[in-house]
Amino acid sequence: MAMSDEQKAARAAHGLLSAVTPEVGAAIEGWLAGLAHERRLSPKTLEAYARDLAVVLLRLTDHLGACPGLGDLAGLTPADVRAVLAARRADGVAPRTLVRLLAAARSFGRHLEREGLGKVGALTAVRAPKVPRSLPKPVSIAAARALSDPATRAGEVREDWVLVRDAAVIALLYGAGLRISEALSLTPRDVPADAESITVTGKGRKTRMVPLIAPVRRSIAEYRAICPHALGPEGPLFRGTRGGPLSPRIVQLAVERMRGALGLPQSATPHALRHAFATHLLSRGGEIRAIQELLGHASLSTTQIYTEVDATALMAAWRSAHPRSGAPDSPRTVARDSTEPT
C-alpha cells in the first residue's frame, strides 16, 4: 500500500531524529501523526516541526550527557530548558528561531501529556524570548505593475514564453494575493479559461475562493497561449523550461533581477507582492475581514498587521507634506512657539 503524504513526511522527519531512544522515537511518530491529522499540517511543515525538535533534543543530549528518554524529559527543570536556549543563542540564532524551537518542544510535551507518557512542565515554565515585531514591507503600486510586466525584462536573453510565464505568476501574487506555493500548485483545471474566480488550497489544506481581476486573467491567458508544453488538466499550470513543475526559486531569481534593474530594495521579494495586495486593498477602503478571507489567514490578528503598515505610510506622507508636520523639506513649516499646546 502506498504511503500517504503524512506518512512520508513523518518517516522523512523521523530520519532526522534517528539518534533518539526507541521510546522517544515512537512518541515522535505519534506526535507527527497527530499534527498531520488533527491540525492538517502540510508535509513540509511537519518536517520543520521535527527539525526544530531535533535541535532541542540534540542540545539536551549535550547538556545532560546522554540521549534523553521519556523519564529524562519528564524530569527536566526550567534551568535545563534555559541552558538549551542559551546554547542556541550563543550560536547566534535569532530570537524568532528560539521561539520556534520552544514552540515545537512545547507541542511535543503536550502530546506526551495527552498520551500519558509524562509531563514536561519545565517547557511551560520558561518564558519565550521576546521577538521584535517587524511590519511587512510591501512594494509600491508602480513597482508591482513593473514586476508583473514582461516588458520589464525585455533585455534578458530568455525565451518570450518564459518571461510571460514569470509575469503571470507574479500577477497572481499581486493581483490575487496568493502565496508563491499556492500559485505554483495550480493546475489548468483549477484555472478555467473564462474563470473570474478560482479555488486556492492554502496552508493546512484550507481552501478559499479568490477573484481573478482582468489583468491577471489576461496574463494567464497569454502564458497558456504561448507555453510550448502540453498543459494537461491535472499537471502543473506553470512549467519549467523542460516541462516539469516550475520551481519557486526560478520566480525568486526573476524578481531579484528585476528589483536590481528597477532600483528596488532587497525587501522586494515575491512575498512582498502578497503584502502589497493586502496593503493596497486596505488603503483603498477594503474591509479587513474580507482581506482576511482573500489572504486565507486563520486569525484576524495576522491580517490586522496591515493596518499598521497603512497607518505608517499615512504618517510618512503627513510628515512630508503637511505644513505643520515639522518636516525639514516642507516649504510652509513654521517654528513652533513654546506656548503652543501639544
Residues marked as catalytic: 179, 203, 271, 274, 297, 306
The answer to whether the CB of 122 falls within 8 A of the CB of 77 is: yes
CA 63-66-72 angle, to 5 degrees, is: 85
3-state secondary structure of 198: strand
CA–CA separation, 195 vs 179, rounded Å?
19
Establish how many alpha carbons lie within 13 A of residue 236's alpha carbon, considering only the half-sphere containing its beta carbon. Answer: 18
The DSSP symbol for 151 reads G
Quick one: which H or E segment has residue 73? helix 70-74
Question: Residue 106: what residue type?
Answer: R
- Helix 78-90 and helix 43-64: axis angle, to 10°? 110
Establish how many alpha carbons lie within 13 A of residue 104's alpha carbon, considering only the half-sphere containing its beta carbon. Answer: 21
**Matching residue, cell 499537471:** 235
For 177: left if phi > 0, alpha if psi spans -120 to 50, otherwise beta; the answer is left
Q: Where are the alpha helices (DSSP H) in 115-159?
A: 121-125, 141-147
Buried b (16+ CB within 10 A) or exposed e, 109-148: bbbbeeeebbebebbeebeeeeeeeeebbbbeeebbebbb
CA–CA separation, 193 vs 299, rounded Å?
32
CA–CA separation, 333 vs 316, rounded Å?
16
CA–CA separation, 94 vs 73, rounded Å?
25
CA–CA separation, 260 vs 255, rounded Å?
9
